[in-house]
Structure 1
Amino acid sequence: MRFQGTKQYVSTEDLTVAVNAAITLQRPLLVKGEPGTGKTELARQVAAALGTEMIEWSVKSTTRAQQGLYEYDAVSRLRDSQLGDARVHDVRNYIRKGKLWQAFEADKRVVLLIDEIDKADIEFPNDLLQELDRMEFHVYETGETIAARQRPIVIITSNNEKELPDAFLRRCFFHYIRFPDMETLKAIVEVHHPGIQPQLLTTALTQFYTIRDQQGLKKKPSTSEVLDWLKLLLAEDLSAEDLKAEAGSALPKLHGALLKNEADVHLFERLAFMARGGR
């Protein structure tokens, strides 16, 4: 099984190498990068390229590692016992399978996405060490061991909100998705907005990179945000000349797609004011 990218996803050479290295090593691929650089979409495209199912586990601040294995609903079992329900005699009726269990019992090798692992408690990654390493876990309520029928391709994403434990990092193959350069970004745009006028694209991306590189910016716009911005420019039927006409003298056209907090909007308002000579 080798990943070569897809028509819907532009994979750089180093990212393609990282995906295939993780598959060969049978280790989780830990992918970091700015929000909006395609980390989650990578897992979907790997699954599509390899013709397999993707199981997605979206991690939140309240997520516990145990939930990825299974959860035992003791409260429901107690209630059913009080009502005389015959289901209480089989504890399996009260065990809910987690995403890891689903991936482990799949007949065909699947892609397991553990999305935004850095949102959870710091102990969350440590609590999954053995399960991801050995590809098995024990169910205490039934006494059985659940082992992976086919070792899943595990892709783990992080926005770098907190550091991950060294013991966890040792078990992963790591890749950082760098923000794309102009040519790579043009290729990404072509996937989402095929046939866009070259002059408009060059002018828009030049303005976009100028915004990203502005000193003092609190939140740099991402790949997904520039795609939204270009979609709006196309919907408004704006040309390269329209963008050039207001360059440096006002906020960017439809700037709400790019600037996502008031401090950054105020920054560009001040720059525009200065560009007009303070008038």
Structure 2
Amino acid sequence: MKFTGTESYVATDDLTVAVNAAVALERPLLVKGEPGTGKTELARQVAGALGLPMIEWSIKSTTKAQQGLYEYDAVSRLRDSQLGDARVNDVANYIRKGKLWQAFEADGKVVLLIDEIDKADIEFPNDLLQELDRMEFFVYETGQTIAARHRPIVIITSNNEKELPDAFLRRCFFHYIRFPDMDTMKRIVEVHHPGIKQRLLTAALEQFYELRETPGLKKKPSTSEVLDWLKLLLAEDLTPEDLKGDANDALPRMHGALLKNEQDVHLFERLAFMARSGRR
């Protein structure tokens, strides 16, 4: 069971090594990187490449670790008891299975994605330590222990918004997805926009990387954003010469696909103003 990337996902050598190491060690793979670098998509591609089902648990700021195991619906049970429903005699009727429970009871190996774990409370990772380590948990209401039939491949993503506890990190195999260099980005673009003219691609990526490295930029555009930008350029049938635009305008064409806040737009407008002033 080896992951080597897919036709629709360009995986660098160090990323494939990380995925396969996590699978061999039977440890969760913790993937960090800038938003938009393909962390979530990695789990989907691993599942597709290995021919495994995927269970996705998207974490929010209000998500609790217990929800990944199960939830006991006491309110529904109380209501049913007032209505005389016979279902109240079996507490199992009011247990809602979480994503970990679904992964543990699956008939075969699955890929379990815990997406954006850093969105949750700081105690969230600690609350899952034992369950992810031992691959089992206890259901107090029914007195049963749920153990994984087949140890799932666990992929956990983080945007680095919060520091994760050392005890949690110790149980994971870690990989940081670096932002793609020019050559890797060209391979990624070819997957999404096959047959794109090389002159246009080179001119666009040169402008993109120059924009990313602009000092003072609040939010650097990501891989997903450059793909959207290129889609617009192709839809408008622009040429490399069109990308150069007006010498007095520092903003790239269709810049709304790349710059996502007014501070960064104002930054480039100030740069254009300073450039015009310097030429006078």
TM-score (norm 2): 0.98
Distance in 1 (CA, whole Å) between partners of 2:245 and 2:161 is: 39
Matching of residues 177-256 of structure 1 within 5 Å:
177-246=177-246, 249-256=249-256
Distance in 1 (CA, whole Å) between partners of 2:211 and 2:129 is: 41
Q: Which amino acid aligns with 1:128?
A: L
Matching of residues 36-75 of structure 1 within 5 Å:
36-75=36-75
Indicate how the Cα distance of structure 1 residues 160 and 248 shifts in structure 2: closer, same or farther if over 3 A, else same. Answer: farther
Match of 1:105 in 2: 105
Aligned structure 1 segments of 4 or more residues deviating by more than 6 angstroms: none
Match of 2:273 in 1: 273
Matching of residues 62-141 of structure 1 within 5 Å:
62-141=62-141
Deviations along 1:159-212, whole A, 9 cap, x unmatched?
A: 000100000000000000000000000000001111101000000000000000
Structure 2 unaligned spans of 5+: none
Distance in 2 (CA, whole Å) between partners of 1:99 and 1:145 is: 16
Distance in 2 (CA, whole Å) between partners of 1:251 and 1:168 is: 43
Secondary structure in structure 1 of the residue aligned to 2:23: helix
Deviations along 1:191-238, whole A, 9 cap, x unmatched?
A: 111110100000000000000000000000000000000001011111
Distance in 1 (CA, whole Å) between partners of 2:35 and 2:266 is: 23
Distance in 2 (CA, whole Å) between partners of 1:19 and 1:181 is: 20
Distance in 1 (CA, whole Å) between partners of 2:215 and 2:275 is: 16
How many pairs are equivalent? 279
- Shift in Å at residue 246 of structure 1? 3.4
Distance in 1 (CA, whole Å) between partners of 2:189 and 2:276 is: 32
Secondary structure in structure 2 of the residue aligned to 1:263: helix
- Shift in Å at residue 108 of structure 1? 1.0
Secondary structure in structure 2 of the residue aligned to 1:276: helix
Distance in 2 (CA, whole Å) between partners of 1:164 and 1:52 is: 28
Select between 132-141 and 237-246 the one with higher mean Cα deviation. 237-246
Distance in 2 (CA, whole Å) between partners of 1:236 and 1:195 is: 16
Asked if the contact 1:137/1:147 (under 8 Å) is kept, the reply is yes
Asked if the contact 1:249/1:276 (under 8 Å) is kept, the reply is no
Distance in 2 (CA, whole Å) between partners of 1:185 and 1:11 is: 11
Asked if the contact 1:137/1:145 (under 8 Å) is kept, the reply is yes
User: Quick check: 1:10 aligned with 2:10?
Assistant: yes
Distance in 2 (CA, whole Å) between partners of 1:4 and 1:108 is: 21
Distance in 1 (CA, whole Å) between partners of 2:142 and 2:245 is: 70
Asked if the contact 1:59/1:116 (under 8 Å) is kept, the reply is yes
Asked if the contact 1:221/1:258 (under 8 Å) is kept, the reply is yes
Asked if the contact 2:226/2:258 (under 8 Å) is kept, the reply is yes
Asked if the contact 2:219/2:259 (under 8 Å) is kept, the reply is yes
- Shift in Å at residue 250 of structure 1? 3.4
Asked if the contact 1:76/1:94 (under 8 Å) is kept, the reply is yes
Structure 1 unaligned spans of 5+: none
- Shift in Å at residue 244 of structure 1? 2.2
Distance in 2 (CA, whole Å) between partners of 1:140 and 1:37 is: 40
User: Quick check: 1:161 aligned with 2:130?
Assistant: no
Distance in 2 (CA, whole Å) between partners of 1:108 and 1:248 is: 61
Secondary structure in structure 2 of the residue aligned to 1:274: helix
TM-score (norm 1): 0.98
Indicate how the Cα distance of structure 1 residues 169 and 276 shifts in structure 2: closer, same or farther if over 3 A, else same. Answer: same
**RMSD of equivalent CA atoms:** 1.0
